[in-house]
Structure 1
Amino acid sequence: MKRRAAREKALQVLFSLDIEEYDLETTLENTLDSEERDSFLLSIVNGVIENQQEIDEKITKHLENWSIKRLAFVEKTLLRMATYELFYLKDAPESVVINEVIEIAHIFGDEKSGKFINGVLSKMIQ
């Protein structure tokens, strides 16, 4: 699985866990169907889950006039994923991580999602 596809599937898994409160195994099975479990996808999903409190604190520090609870699920999930990749995984250039989540935001979010995510992430890496 290419990294872009893995990021999209990770978004779907984490989004489902956040909204539907399924367990991880069921969510992975439903999202991946018969696809193989990609190590990069699992790294993002497990990393976000294991570090969610710290990740949310990092994001919250860079939100202006917003709280993490007010964020739409897509934006919140993409910010969590990007924060994990940027500060914990660190195996892709910052610009690549940011561009990828913005592109995914254009697919799964609304017309303002990409711009909002870019603004928050840009503040985080300064």
Structure 2
Amino acid sequence: MKRREAREKAVQTLFQMDNSEMTLEEAITYIMDGPIDPFYESLVKGTIENRDEVDKVLIGKLENWSLDRLPKIERTVLRIAVYELLFQEEVPHRVILNEAIELCKHFGDEKSGRFVNGVLSKFAEEK
């Protein structure tokens, strides 16, 4: 599985968990057929396991928004991207930002991509 597909599946899995009472294992099984890709698994489990820290950092980047007010798809994509920015140091930040924008375009709309770009660009400004 390519990393783009792994990210798409991770968004679907985490979005499913955000909208239901599914456990992590149930959500993974619901989305994935066959063997579990290691990168996909690291995104999903890492985002869940580090959610408090990810949310804390994410809240610090949101201006005039609360995490609860964000549309669910943008919140899900942002959580994955922030997890990658904080914990997946082998992936260049520019790649993470571009992938997050593309995920929003795929699952949301052009406005979603611009919003996510605005939030995540604050990470680039810090570097």
Deviating beyond 2 angstroms after TM superposition, the runs of 4 or more aligned structure 1 residues are none
Q: Which amino acid aligns with 1:116?
A: F
Would the aligned equivalents of 1:85 and 1:91 in 2 still touch at CA under 8 Å?
no
**Correspondences of 1:44-83 after superposition (within 5 Å):** 44-83=43-82
Identity of matched residues, %: 49
CA apart distance, 1:108: 0.2
Answering whether residue 114 of structure 2 is matched by residue 118 of structure 1, we say: no
Q: How does the TM-score come out when normalised to structure 2? A: 0.95
Residue by residue over 1:72-105, the C-alpha shift from the partner in whole angstroms, topping out at 9 and shown as x without a partner, is 1110010000001111111211111110111111
In 1: Cα distance, 2:34 partner to 2:9 partner: 11
What runs of 5+ residues in structure 1 fail to find an aligned partner? none
Give the alignment's Cα RMSD to 1 decimal.
0.9
User: Tell me, what secondary structure is at the counterpart of 1:20?
Assistant: coil
In 2: Cα distance, 1:119 partner to 1:35 partner: 36
Q: Which amino acid aligns with 1:37?
A: I
CA apart distance, 1:55: 0.4
Aligned residue pair count: 125
User: Tell me, what secondary structure is at the counterpart of 2:25?
Assistant: helix
Residue by residue over 1:23-54, the C-alpha shift from the partner in whole angstroms, topping out at 9 and shown as x without a partner, is 1111111101x232000000010111011011
Q: How does the TM-score come out when normalised to structure 1? A: 0.95
Would the aligned equivalents of 1:60 and 1:67 in 2 still touch at CA under 8 Å?
yes
What runs of 5+ residues in structure 2 fail to find an aligned partner? none
